[in-house]
A and B are shown apart, each in its own frame.
Chain A
Amino acid sequence: MIDERRTSLVGYLVRLGDDNLVLAQRLGEWSSRGPTLEEDIALTNIALDLLGRARFLFTYAGHVEGRGHKEDWFAFFRDEREFTNLLLVEQPNGDFAHTMARQFFFDAWSVPLWEHLSASTDPTLAGIAGKAAKESRYHLRHSSAWVTRLGDGTEESHRRMQSAVDSLWRFTGEMFWSDAVEVELAEMETAVVPVRLRPRFDRTVDEVFAAADLRRPADAFQRRGGRLGLHTEHLGHLLAEMQHLQRASPGLRW
């Protein structure tokens, strides 16, 4: 593999790994705090799926990179500026409506992403994606159901769901911007240019919002920067908690 392509592929694998790792960490914060026992278990079950993908992606990234980095190195020994996850996934849990709106946007984007990547010319990435696509469809069913139930629920639940949608919408645009890494890999049909995911995402959002009686916010101001390592103030705090043990005692094992 030529070096430039190797660097691009590692970058792509790591950004997808970061998306899933950071959201898994956020969902894990709900453990023992879920609104009901069943929902507590659901959120942490979804977190496990996302964490599992991150592990596959980081392991493969380390293999392609060829510098001996294992999955834990990617998770625990990189600093905030080296994380290239979407800004959406690092946003705080907020109330349950915020967590579900964030999850819904992520799932509605993840389903077409993994479906495209399951046809990737890179067989390892295609294998990870084939598995993730099935799981994301299941996750989307769950998050869509909650967005609908809260949006079309009581006056209070509707108000909170709409407020969550309004405050998180500015982080959705970033999911469809592409950079040189994606364009280059998409030319070889290894990756997908994110803008191609937009029609499916829009359709899912419009269908669920119609059923949930929610208003789709205007595409006014959209934040970006996650793919460049420029994050909102929330990621540093998340990483401090997540990485603390390995930074204090590197290589510590259970």
Chain B
Amino acid sequence: MVTKSIRDLLRAVVDPEIPALTIEDLGILRGIEETPDGVVVSITPTYSGCPAMDTIVEGIVAVLGLAGHRAEVRSVLAPPWTPLFITEEGRRKLAAASIAPPGGQPRCPRCADPNPRLVSEFGSTACKALMVCTSCGEPFDRFKDLP
């Protein structure tokens, strides 16, 4: 099926700020629709001001363009993205990249200690908070939980 192959192609598009995750892992890929004029890909931003969106749009157009598809990218806002949209695969990849996934009790990615301390609710990117392990002292990013 063509849709599947486009979905496969889009696995090459990653979040430039968290390159471990594809846009599908991150849960921001909302739809793929084929029209006579090309492919319409719908994505949603994680945060309103996410500065990675432009790069992601360019990535989608470039990846599909190389495979001979004319792509148009649309931004959709509803329903709003929450960390719950991150896929299981995405959560595994986050943990492997030493970023504590959202939801539940965060653990130190280095020593798995379950009692890290929140240093700042705002971290290195719009979607992450900064924590530090109270056991081994490792500072690490945690994907924000949105209230």
> Which residues of A line the B interface, CB within 8 A?
38-39, 41-42, 45-53, 55-56, 123-124, 126-128, 130-135, 137-138, 141-142
Contacts and interface: CB of A to CB of B under 8 A. Distances in A.
6 contacts: A52-B50, A130-B78, A131-B45, A134-B80, A138-B147, A142-B121
Q: Is the interface of B mostly helix, strand, loop or mixed?
A: loop
Contact of B48 (A38, A123, A135): A135
Given A51-B49, A52-B47, A131-B48, A46 B122 contact: yes
A130 B80 contact: yes
Contacts of A124: 77
Q: Is the interface of A mostly helix, strand, loop or mixed?
A: helix
B48 A49 contact: yes
Contact of B51 (A46, A48, A56, A137): A48
B123 interface: yes
Given A56-B48, A132-B48, A134-B82, A49 B126 contact: yes
Interface string B133-147: 000000000001011
B48 A41 contact: no
Contacts of A132: 48
A131 B47 CA distance: 8
B104 interface: no
A138 B126 contact: no
